[in-house]
Structure 1
């Protein structure tokens, strides 16, 4: 938590493109999987376009990234690990959430927030409802 400035470092476009070309040169699917795991890069035909910048042109998918990935990460790494939220907090949050009534077509209010690491057992729909509440 001390080095928050190092969490999100902008990638270098030239290095990204070089890694993508390296990925293409991998001789097997297994080596490509290892390479992708190590670098986080794989080839895309869009890289043939000289103006295409995969770092700046990325579209963040709110369901998978925000509601399933980043939101859980924030809760775990910042709120839980730093002691901002604890088991008693989760129980209070759950009691408040249980007081809400939402239209049935929106789904159910997430339950068992106090189980696990807080919000870790939520589906994408439940994360959306949690944010909207």
Structure 2
């Protein structure tokens, strides 16, 4: 986890298209599910457009993917599971957050980040 150069490796669009075609040739849903678990690829009808590079042209939904999905994953998997943020650190952050006074037109600050998985009750605006 420490070497960030391994985190984001650009996929090859030709290989991705080939794997998607292999997925399409799977005979059953169970076989397709196994294929996706191994390869992380499934068919999309947009791949019928030969000029469409699914790797380069993908649009990331920031709120659902980044703010709610990846941010939570980073917090849990890297910061908490790898003990970058200890229980003591989470309690300290919670104490500081409890002291914040927000203007009435801003969203709420989450309740207890030091409980459960930590930061797990965040909403997109938090």
Q: Normalising TM by the smaller chain, what interval?
A: 0.7 to 0.9
Alignment check: 8 A CA contact 2:79 2:85 kept? yes
Aligned to 2:121: 122
Within 5 Å, give how 1:1-133 maps onto structure 2. 1-102=1-102, 106-119=106-119, 121-123=120-122, 125=123, 127-129=124-126
1:3 positional shift: 3.4
CA contact (8 A) 2:107 2:125 kept: no
Measured after TM superposition, the shift of residue 9 of structure 1 is: 1.2
Contact 2:23 2:41 in 1 (8 A): yes
Q: Unaligned 5+ residue runs, structure 1?
A: none
Q: Relative to structure 1, is the Cα distance of residues 18 and 113 closer, same or farther in structure 2, using a 3 angstrom cutoff?
A: same
Cα drift, residue 113 of structure 1: 0.4
Q: TM-score, normalised by structure 1?
A: 0.80
More helix by share: 1
**TM-score, scaled relative to structure 2:** 0.83
| Superimposed CA distance per residue, residues 37-92 of structure 1 (whole angstroms, 9 cap, x where no aligned partner) | 22111111111112211111111112222122221222234333444321122112
Give the CA RMSD over aligned residues: 2.1
2:125 match: secondary structure:
helix
Deviation at 1:27, TM superposition (A): 1.2
1:6-60 residue CA offsets vs partner (Å, 9 max, x unmatched): 2221111111001111111111122112212221111111111122111111111
Instruction: Output the CA distance in 2 between the equivalents of 1:2 and 1:105.
Output: 39
Distance 2:28 2:104 in 1: 49
Offset of residue 4 of structure 1: 2.6
